[in-house]
Chain A
């Protein structure tokens, strides 16, 4: 391979000749066009620039890139270009590159934002986000009304399928997590309560903790990661593919068709899963209790039955309904607010999971305070 070389000389009065030789391939060591650009700027009385490419070997983008810089500089300095000395292919490519003028105002100017601008923009974005969430909730309430009065368009089979996905298919993970949580609670309970001979109260600890708080919270978090994320990704992808626009043009409200069935499915399945999770937690606790304490199965079970009141169960189930609706709301709302690119789908899914978990924890705190004040 011949190394690329470039030389420049004023051959005639006002005529600059650029000689190109060797192989001009991108990625090899190409000479910079600086000597030509300097001559164009500095030599007085230049009128035209021509090329000699007789000893030019192979070429690709590397050559054209340099020649475009030369053309630009020549145009800026008012020097005419005589491109007859270039090979046909190069000449055509350069013509093509300059064929379409850069559109006025198309180029982006990247501007650094000041701290205040950033704070302001972020604040406005948060306000807009809050407003969107409120508007979405409002739409959802209206949609629920239509759903109850039978005016909403949706597929009954969809609702069943969502229930299957959110309920039955989540059985394995809910079993595993709640069983282990129950075991962990019982283990901690035994270690601490044994210190003052109250080991049997581990049964109370596990049952009350699972039924009142933990079953609902753990199931809620599992649902946020599993179902909330799925909702956001499904609806977000439909948004990207313009499927939501297709529904709207058919006169079908996308909230009625996509969001309400999902939310209803999750609201129905959450209490069932939570009840099941409580049971699994208590069973897990029983294993640890029987293994570490000197009690019989009958004793442990009757202690558990005495500890649990119906109020605790209803309190826990109500919480699970709240968590379920918040997770579904976060999932669907973020899905509907998705931008129109693959990246946006990922972002909206992340947001759905994070905001789902935050909403669960915040509402758990609020509900616990309310329950204490109501004496439940």
Chain B
């Protein structure tokens, strides 16, 4: 396998809503097996970048490449095929409320595999076991707590054994212990499965605990200020904004 080639790359990506520019000139590379963090202050376009990467919103200019193949400039059919390698956990879980957890997980399997109903249920049960929800197959999303919804959403995102997992603020709305457990879970799963992970978050604890690559988006200059390992960026990055963000606004201004 061409492991030296980055798994995901962004080339001169510009995002905008109509005339309103969100971010411009984004360039970064994500290697296979990386846990990549998209960070930045509120309103800097983190979630928009994620939407572009998973194919929900098209970029104004530039493109995202998966395994070296352009995503947005390819045909709709190719894009659909690429999307099958993705699993996404939305901010509040976004579980389908009219379906049980097992059905939520089973829908993707039903759509994309030839498995029978019993086998689909078996796989769903296993995915729920992985996220610590054994026995909750027949619960509806509104019958479980917020943290459980997040984990059920994670199980659903992993239904098709995706190559890339996208998370939108996985620890938002969770208590610190649940958030830590979710982080550990993500880390464990990715180590075992070798999945590439892209996470949108501004939880510093998560960023340092699990991230090994990142991009920092700045809402003022509307472009990326830094990309790389967040731990190194905190200590050594020349840009004050970046250090300040990663130290909760307590960086000393040692600007050169």
Do A and B originate from a single complex? yes
A residues apposed to B, CB below 8 Å: 26-27, 60-61, 64-65, 68, 88-90, 92-93, 96-103, 106-108, 110, 339-344
Q: Could you tell me the distance between the alpha carbons of A339 and B133 in the complex, rounded to whole angstroms?
A: 24
Query: Do residues A92 and B188 form an inter-chain contact, with CB atoms below 8 A?
Result: yes
Query: Do residues A68 and B191 form an inter-chain contact, with CB atoms below 8 A?
Result: no
Asked if B189 is at the interface (CB within 8 A of a chain A CB), the reply is yes
Partner of A342, one of B97, B115, B138: B97
Nearest CB on B from A25, distance (A): 9
The count of A-to-B residue pairs whose CB atoms sit within 8 angstroms is 74
Query: Do residues A343 and B98 form an inter-chain contact, with CB atoms below 8 A?
Result: yes
Query: Do residues B161 and A61 form an inter-chain contact, with CB atoms below 8 A?
Result: yes
Knowing A100-B132, A341-B142 are in contact, say whether A93-B161 is a contact too (CB < 8 A).
no
Knowing A60-B161, A61-B126, A98-B129 are in contact, say whether A88-B134 is a contact too (CB < 8 A).
no
Knowing A26-B123, A98-B129 are in contact, say whether A93-B193 is a contact too (CB < 8 A).
yes
Partner of B134, one of A102, A339, A343: A102
Considering only residues 114-165 of chain B, those with a C-beta below 8 Å from chain A are 114-115, 122-123, 126-127, 129-130, 132-142, 161
Considering only residues 162-203 of chain B, those with a C-beta below 8 Å from chain A are 185, 188-189, 191-194
Query: Do residues A27 and B135 form an inter-chain contact, with CB atoms below 8 A?
Result: no
Q: Could you tell me the distance between the alpha carbons of A88 and B130 in the complex, rounded to whole angstroms?
A: 16
Instruction: A27-B113, A60-B161 given; name 7 further pairs at CB < 8 Å.
Output: A26-B161, A65-B122, A65-B126, A93-B130, A107-B135, A108-B139, A342-B98
Nearest CB on B from A191, distance (A): 50
Nearest CB on A from B193, distance (A): 6
Task: Using CB atoms, name the residue of chain B closest to A98.
Answer: B129
Q: Could you tell me the distance between the alpha carbons of A342 and B94 in the complex, rounded to whole angstroms?
A: 11
Query: Do residues B135 and A89 form an inter-chain contact, with CB atoms below 8 A?
Result: no
Q: Could you tell me the distance between the alpha carbons of A90 and B133 in the complex, rounded to whole angstroms?
A: 19
B residues apposed to A, CB below 8 Å: 96-98, 113-115, 122-123, 126-127, 129-130, 132-142, 161, 185, 188-189, 191-194
Partner of B192, one of A96, A103, A106, A344: A96
Nearest CB on B from A310, distance (A): 53
Nearest CB on A from B120, distance (A): 10
Q: Could you tell me the distance between the alpha carbons of A129 and B65 in the complex, rounded to whole angstroms?
A: 56
Knowing A92-B192, A100-B134, A103-B135 are in contact, say whether A27-B97 is a contact too (CB < 8 A).
no
Partner of A99, one of B97, B132, B161, B192: B132
Query: Do residues B113 and A61 form an inter-chain contact, with CB atoms below 8 A?
Result: no
Q: Could you tell me the distance between the alpha carbons of A27 and B120 in the complex, rounded to whole angstroms?
A: 10
Q: Which B residues are CB-close (under 8 A) to A103?
A: 134-135
Q: Could you tell me the distance between the alpha carbons of A323 and B134 in the complex, rounded to whole angstroms?
A: 52
Nearest CB on A from B178, distance (A): 13
Q: Could you tell me the distance between the alpha carbons of A121 and B6 in the complex, rounded to whole angstroms?
A: 60
Task: Using CB atoms, name the residue of chain A closest to B158.
Answer: A61
Q: Which B residues are CB-close (under 8 A) to A110?
A: 138
Q: Could you tell me the distance between the alpha carbons of A203 and B96 in the complex, rounded to whole angstroms?
A: 56
Q: Which A residues are CB-close (under 8 A) to B135?
A: 102-103, 106-107
Q: Could you tell me the distance between the alpha carbons of A340 and B115 in the complex, rounded to whole angstroms?
A: 32
Partner of A96, one of B114, B123, B130, B137: B130
Q: Which A residues are CB-close (under 8 A) to B193?
A: 89, 93
Task: Using CB atoms, name the residue of chain A closest to B122.
Answer: A65
Query: Do residues A343 and B97 form an inter-chain contact, with CB atoms below 8 A?
Result: yes
Query: Do residues B136 and A97 form an inter-chain contact, with CB atoms below 8 A?
Result: no
Partner of B136, one of A27, A98, A106, A339: A106
Q: Which A residues are CB-close (under 8 A) to B130?
A: 93, 96-97
Q: Could you tell me the distance between the alpha carbons of A92 and B193 in the complex, rounded to whole angstroms?
A: 9
Task: Using CB atoms, name the residue of chain B closest to A100.
Answer: B132
Q: Could you tell me the distance between the alpha carbons of A341 and B92 in the complex, rounded to whole angstroms?
A: 13
Q: Which B residues are CB-close (under 8 A) to A99?
A: 132
Partner of A97, one of B97, B126, B194: B126
Q: Could you tell me the distance between the alpha carbons of A89 and B98 in the complex, rounded to whole angstroms?
A: 34
Nearest CB on A from B158, distance (A): 8
Partner of B140, one of A61, A102, A106, A341: A341
Q: Which A residues are CB-close (under 8 A) to B113?
A: 26-27
A-B contact pairs, 13 of them (CB 8 A): A27-B114, A65-B122, A68-B129, A89-B192, A89-B194, A93-B189, A93-B192, A96-B192, A97-B130, A98-B129, A341-B141, A342-B96, A343-B98
Q: Which B residues are CB-close (under 8 A) to A89?
A: 191-194
Partner of B188, one of A64, A90, A96, A98: A96
Q: Which B residues are CB-close (under 8 A) to A100?
A: 129, 132-134
Nearest CB on A from B127, distance (A): 8
Q: Which B residues are CB-close (under 8 A) to A65?
A: 122-123, 126
Nearest CB on A from B118, distance (A): 12
Task: Using CB atoms, name the residue of chain B closest to A90.
Answer: B192
Q: Which B residues are CB-close (under 8 A) to A96?
A: 130, 185, 188-189, 192
Q: Could you tell me the distance between the alpha carbons of A191 and B213 in the complex, rounded to whole angstroms?
A: 83
Knowing A100-B132, A110-B138 are in contact, say whether A341-B126 is a contact too (CB < 8 A).
no
Query: Do residues A64 and B98 form an inter-chain contact, with CB atoms below 8 A?
Result: no
| 4 nearest A-B pairs in the assembled complex, by CB-CB distance | A341-B97, A100-B132, A343-B98, A92-B192
Q: Could you tell me the distance between the alpha carbons of A145 and B113 in the complex, rounded to whole angstroms?
A: 61
Task: Using CB atoms, name the residue of chain B closest to A109.
Answer: B138
Q: Could you tell me the distance between the alpha carbons of A100 and B130 in the complex, rounded to whole angstroms?
A: 8
- Chain A CB count within 10 A is highest, among B115, B161, B191, for B161
Q: Which B residues are CB-close (under 8 A) to A93?
A: 130, 189, 192-193
Nearest CB on B from A72, distance (A): 11
Q: Could you tell me the distance between the alpha carbons of A340 and B113 in the complex, rounded to whole angstroms?
A: 32
